[in-house]
Amino acid sequence: MDKSYSSVTESDIYQSWESSGAFTPKIDKKKKPFSIILPLPNANDPMHMGHALFTIEDILIRYHRMLGEPTLWLPGSDHAGIETQFVFEKMLQKEGKSRFDYDRQTLYQMIWGFVEKNRTLNQFQMKKLGFSMDWTRYHYSLETPIVDNVLATFKKLYDDGLIYRDEKIVNYCTFCGTAFSNLEVVHKSVDSHLWYFKYPVVGQKDRYVTVATTRPETMLGDTAVAVNPKDKRYLDLKNQKILLPLVNREIPIIFEETVDIKFGTGAVKVTPSHSPEDYDMGKIHGLEFIRIFDYDGRSNQNVPLKYRGLFPNQVRQMVIDDLTAAGLMEKIKDYTHEVGHCYRCSRPIEPITAPQWYVKIAPLAKPAIDAAKTGKVKFFPVRFKKTYIDWMENIRDWNISRQIVWGPRIPAWYCLDCHPQIKVNFLDKNKKIVSGFYKDLKGKYSVEEIKNGLQSLVAPVDVSFMVEESIQCSKCHSSAVIQETDTFDTWFLSGQWPLNTLGFNPKDPSKSSPDFGYFYPTSVMDTLWDILFFWVARMIMFGLYLAKDVPFKTVHLHSRVVDARGQKMSKSKGNVIDPLVMTEKYGTDALRMSLVYGIAPASDFVVSEDKIRAQRNFVNKIWNASRFVLMIIERFVEKNPKLNISTTIDISKLNDDDKNILTNLNSIISSTTTNIDKYRFGQASENLYQFFWHDFCDIYIEKAKDRGEDVIPVLLTVLINSLKLLHPFIPFVTESVYQILRDKAGLEEPQLVTASWPKEIKL
RNA sequence: GAAUCUGUAGCUCAGUUGGUUAGAGCGCAUCAUUGACAUUGAUGAGGUCAGAGGUUCAAGUCCUCUCAGAUUCACCA
């Protein structure tokens, strides 16, 4: 609202709504509820245009509230594991520090404090945008009861045999210091080269096998060369060995059908510890796994001395130089290929073997696929159903462990006395980093000192663990028991969000809160399509697994906001339009309207200041038209101080103009209702705009200027019904106008936010 | 490599199950208006709906192909 028109501010109106209790639904078993769980924003993140699109949810919520349904919009915010830690580490970096300067308890406390400072900011901002959320039911993902539930879910999965540890090849970012799921890897096309190396065959002078590779540096970890058994060029190499150059290790030649005869030379160097395909080959052929890069990104003791302690690109150059010098470089060709990059820091991902925690996903995915196929969960737009099912049918086991601090730790405990081969990293009393195997450190450091200064531990996959917290080992009764330092993938927690925010009890579902029984499954999950797999799919799986029902009946995927050049808005590109700046400049109503006006579902759409300005003019129009109606009423009251204002329409007294506008009103009531029901917000807002501005203002009101007081009932009826229809889109101005009208014309309903949705008028 | 989406007025985009002269906002032109309107109103110009073929009484809308662009998924050296 343009502030110059009224002394009532948007925040006054918001407060009056909130304090009236309008946002807090009352459970009424006789009525069907309507509920939406807010896609939880990151707690440390200020709002951007993407969040402003929650306007769509507010439209649904306000509409259903006006229909008289007990309506819940449940807000919350997420600790956002890796995202937040990444932001925090950037701050540390500016101070010349790093995460390695702190033990994990201290680091956790520091991040906690950082998030607490920012956590209320986006709440304030959501209120600015007029979102009618039930703040009495607000949740934060690290609240103790929520975390307890998440840990209980882990326990249940474990008891059901769906949790396991394995040392597979994972997507590891050595800069972020953690593994990622496949979804978190961004594939980018990179211009590089194919290097052709000659590997000598053992015992055969001048017989070489030439391999082609994009990653020369990994050759130090080769443990085989693979050729296709049908490849005639290599038939003589059965049972022969290769002498790996630079390393002088004898490695076998294996025959593997998956090797493409046509690619390169048809011979592949095999590095099982640093390539996903080679890992599979290594498993099938029982090859040696030699990991040559450590989790800090540097080469380790598994390579010859001169190559140790270096980053991959440094090793690459040395290997190329040394092979060239040895006359083993056959040729170098240009080659473009896809390389995985960290979605967080954009550095190349190092495929690396590491022990991780996994969820067996197939048993969870199956019911979630069925739910989509049978329509228990509906998708809008429907094309996303196919995307969802395709993805779910090809899903792989879910790596839920992250080697970061910020987030709940995986509830598993190891006994260091039973498993002295566990490696620990910690800060000693003097704050110096100590790394090593427990068996070597045992005499020198107490368990307490290790625990207090702990940064991380690495436990081989064959060690046993306990899933109940205890002070003693259940086998040897040692008190050297230490908790896993891996934390959960954020989505493991947020995947259970609808359950946990509504008070589901995973230990005993019958003891869940009344909210859960009433509001679950929720009505709609509205979110951006880019977290369909990350979040929506996981919520469906967890919902069905834990509560035996889907978490929401409809998934509505909304559009993505892009800039005028079609680019995704992001801080690093500097093309962000700040919704709060727009709110200040043009009013919240104008911003909201511009976010839904004329948009198609789930396609990118452009927000520009022009568009917002156009909607500001519309909001002004509403204000001014209302002022005109008020003026007519005031004149009437001056002349007839003792008469009441009537909104009752006497059909026999209507002229053609009256009949026309009322017919149009009826049709806009019915079209707006179906358009919102079918998520056609763009159409709904366009029709309303057209009706109000042209049918009502330009035609009816213009003609009304020449008429007497008899115009008042129709004028008021159309205005009030229009305000109601517009209210979900344009809440502030409509409410403020309505309340003035209420006082002048003696209307019954106290506020628009809880007023009844219009019904067609009988003519 | 697989899948999906997009191509409609100068710009940004709507167009629901195929149905009369294809719509909006911004911009542009002309006129009017400053007594609801930090303006607004009236009128108008501007489109072979990417291209080709097909189905149909009827296609922007359905089918096939071509061209152009975007995105997502994917372990190919």
Span A596-646, pLDDT tens digits:
887 877 677 777 787 888 888 899 999 999 999 988 888 888 887 777 777
CA of A692 to C1' of B28 (A): 26
Give A41-79 pLDDT, tens digit per residue.
888 877 888 888 899 999 999 999 999 999 999 999 999
Distance CA A162, CA A706 (A): 77
Closest nucleotide relative to residue A188's CA, C1' based: B74
Pairing verdict, β A522-528 and A552-558: parallel
* Average pLDDT value for chain A: 89
Q: What is the reported pLDDT for A3?
A: 37
Within 7 Å: CB of A627 and strand B? yes
- Reply yes or no on whether the pLDDT at A257 is more than 90: no
Give A146-155 pLDDT, tens digit per residue.
999 999 999 9
Distance CA A214, CA A352 (A): 16
C-alpha distances out from residue A396 to A20, A157, A181, A279, A362, Å: 49, 16, 10, 16, 8
Within 7 Å: CB of A628 and strand B? yes
Pairing verdict, β A185-200 and A329-342: antiparallel
Q: What is the reported pLDDT for A570?
A: 62
C-alpha distances out from residue A710 to A646, A721, A748, Å: 10, 19, 22
Distance CA A530, CA A439 (A): 46
Co-location of A342 and A419 in the same domain: no
pTM: 0.91
Within 7 Å: CB of A182 and strand B? yes
Among residues A431, A460, A485, the one where a domain terminates is: A485
- Reply yes or no on whether the pLDDT at A343 is more than 50: yes
Q: Which residue has the higher pLDDT, A638 or A33?
A: A33
Give A155-187 pLDDT, tens digit per residue.
999 999 999 999 888 999 888 888 888 888 888
Is residue A373 a part of any domain in this protein?
no
Closest CA to A65 of A29, A39, A26: A26
Give the pLDDT mean for A433-449: 89
Count CB atoms within 10 A of the CB of residue A723: 23
Q: What is the reported pLDDT for A4?
A: 38
Within 7 Å: CB of A383 and strand B? yes
Window A260-299, strand B contacts by Cβ < 7 Å: 260-264, 266, 268-269, 275-277, 280
CA of A621 to C1' of B37 (A): 6
Co-location of A323 and A461 in the same domain: no
Lowest-confidence region among A104-118, A185-199, A360-374: A185-199
Window A503-562, strand B contacts by Cβ < 7 Å: 530, 533
Co-location of A343 and A214 in the same domain: yes
Is residue A96 a part of any domain in this protein?
no
Within 7 Å: CB of A215 and strand B? yes
Q: Which of A389-398, A493-502, A528-537, A567-576 has the highest mean pLDDT?
A: A493-502
Give A718-760 pLDDT, tens digit per residue.
999 999 999 999 999 999 999 998 988 888 899 999 999 999 9
Closest nucleotide relative to residue A608's CA, C1' based: B12
Co-location of A341 and A200 in the same domain: yes
Co-location of A422 and A313 in the same domain: no
Count CB atoms within 10 A of the CB of residue A510: 6
Task: Kindly report which amino acid residue has its CA closest to the C1' atom of nucleotide B76.
Answer: A277
Is residue A713 a part of any domain in this protein?
no
Type and span of the H or E element at A57? helix A55-66
Outline where A520-608 has alpha helix (H).
538-547, 579-586, 588-596
Whether A552 contacts A522, CB under 8 Å = yes
pLDDT-based confidence at residue A413 (cuts at 50, 70, 90): very high
Give the pLDDT mean for A248-264: 87
Closest nucleotide relative to residue A678's CA, C1' based: B16
Closest nucleotide relative to residue A384's CA, C1' based: B4
Co-location of A326 and A425 in the same domain: no
Closest nucleotide relative to residue A2's CA, C1' based: B38
Co-location of A338 and A480 in the same domain: no
- Reduced to 3 states (helix: H, G, I; strand: E, B; else coil), residue A462 is coil
Co-location of A328 and A428 in the same domain: no
Query: Which residue's entry shows tokens 């600790």?
Result: A79
Q: What is the reported pLDDT for A565?
A: 59
Distance CA A319, CA A321 (A): 5
CA of A626 to C1' of B15 (A): 31
Within 7 Å: CB of A230 and strand B? no
Co-location of A331 and A188 in the same domain: yes
Co-location of A219 and A348 in the same domain: yes
- Collect contacts of A468-472 with beta carbons under 8 A, ≥24 apart: A468/A413, A469/A411, A469/A413, A470/A413
Co-location of A183 and A322 in the same domain: yes
CA of A387 to C1' of B54 (A): 30
Q: What is the reported pLDDT for A57?
A: 93
Is residue A464 a part of any domain in this protein?
yes
- Token code pair at residue A265: 């030379």
Number of domains in chain A: 2
DSSP A29: T
Give the pLDDT mean for A120-132: 91
Count CB atoms within 10 A of the CB of residue A224: 23
Distance CA A444, CA A435 (A): 13
C-alpha distances out from residue A308 to A300, A301, A318, A433, A458, Å: 5, 6, 11, 20, 21
Give the pLDDT mean for A422-432: 91
Q: What is the reported pLDDT for A154?
A: 96
CA of A257 to C1' of B56 (A): 52
Within 7 Å: CB of A240 and strand B? no
CA of A384 to C1' of B60 (A): 24
Within 7 Å: CB of A397 and strand B? no
Q: Which of A147-161, A425-439, A675-689 has the highest mean pLDDT?
A: A147-161
Task: Kindly report which amino acid residue has its CA closest to the C1' atom of nucleotide B5.
Answer: A603
Query: Which residue's entry shows tokens 């709504």?
Result: A17
Within 7 Å: CB of A65 and strand B? no
Among residues A485, A505, A538, the one where a domain terminates is: A485
CA of A174 to C1' of B77 (A): 23
CA of A600 to C1' of B5 (A): 12
For A673-694, b where at least 16 C-beta lie within 10 A, e where not — what string? bebbeebbbbbbbbbbbebbbe
Closest nucleotide relative to residue A625's CA, C1' based: B36
CA of A189 to C1' of B68 (A): 21
Window A2-21, strand B contacts by Cβ < 7 Å: 2, 4
CA of A595 to C1' of B52 (A): 38
Question: What's phi and psi for A186, nearest 5 deg?
Answer: -105, 120
CA of A313 to C1' of B76 (A): 22
Q: What is the reported pLDDT for A598?
A: 77
Co-location of A426 and A323 in the same domain: no
- Reply yes or no on whether the pLDDT at A668 is more than 70: yes
Within 7 Å: CB of A469 and strand B? no
Region label for A352, one of left (φ > 0), alpha (ψ between -120 and 50) or beta (otherwise): beta
Is residue A510 a part of any domain in this protein?
no
Among residues A352, A370, A389, the one where a domain terminates is: A352
Give the pLDDT mean for A472-491: 91
At residue A268, what is the residue type? V
Pairing verdict, β A185-200 and A224-227: unpaired
Type and span of the H or E element at A254? strand A249-255
- Reply yes or no on whether the pLDDT at A5 is more than 60: no
Residue ranges making up the domain that contains A312: 178-352
CA of A630 to C1' of B33 (A): 22
DSSP A536: I
Whether A276 contacts A170, CB under 8 Å = no
Query: Which residue's entry shows tokens 């969820």?
Result: A359
Give the pLDDT mean for A278-284: 88
Q: What is the reported pLDDT for A573?
A: 61
Within 7 Å: CB of A566 and strand B? yes
Is residue A360 a part of any domain in this protein?
no
* Full DSSP string of A657-724: HHHHHHHHHHHHHHHHHHHHHTT-HHHHHHHHHHIIIIIIIIIIIHHHTTS-GGGHHHHHHHHHHHHH
Within 7 Å: CB of A348 and strand B? no
Closest CA to A496 of A525, A533, A535: A535
- Reply yes or no on whether the pLDDT at A693 is more than 80: yes
Is residue A367 a part of any domain in this protein?
no
CATH code at A190?
3.90.740.10
Chain B: bases < 7 Å from a protein Cβ: 3-6, 12-16, 23-26, 36-42, 70, 72-77
Q: What is the reported pLDDT for A721?
A: 94
Task: Kindly report which amino acid residue has its CA closest to the C1' atom of nucleotide B41.
Answer: A698
Q: What is the reported pLDDT for A27?
A: 92
Distance CA A544, CA A504 (A): 13
Whether A285 contacts A256, CB under 8 Å = yes
Name, in order, each residue with C-beta under 8 angstroms of A106's C-beta and a sequence gap of 6 or more: none
Beta bridge partners of A481: A415
Give the pLDDT mean for A486-490: 94
Burial-class residue A583 by CB neighbours within 10 Å (0-12, 13-18, 19+): buried
Distance CA A149, CA A504 (A): 8
- Collect contacts of A320-323 with beta carbons under 8 A, ≥24 apart: A320/A195, A320/A216, A322/A246, A323/A197, A323/A216, A323/A245, A323/A246
Question: What's phi and psi for A341, nearest 5 deg?
Answer: -125, 155
Query: Which residue's entry shows tokens 């344009």?
Result: A730
Is residue A357 a part of any domain in this protein?
no
Q: What is the reported pLDDT for A2?
A: 39
Closest nucleotide relative to residue A213's CA, C1' based: B77
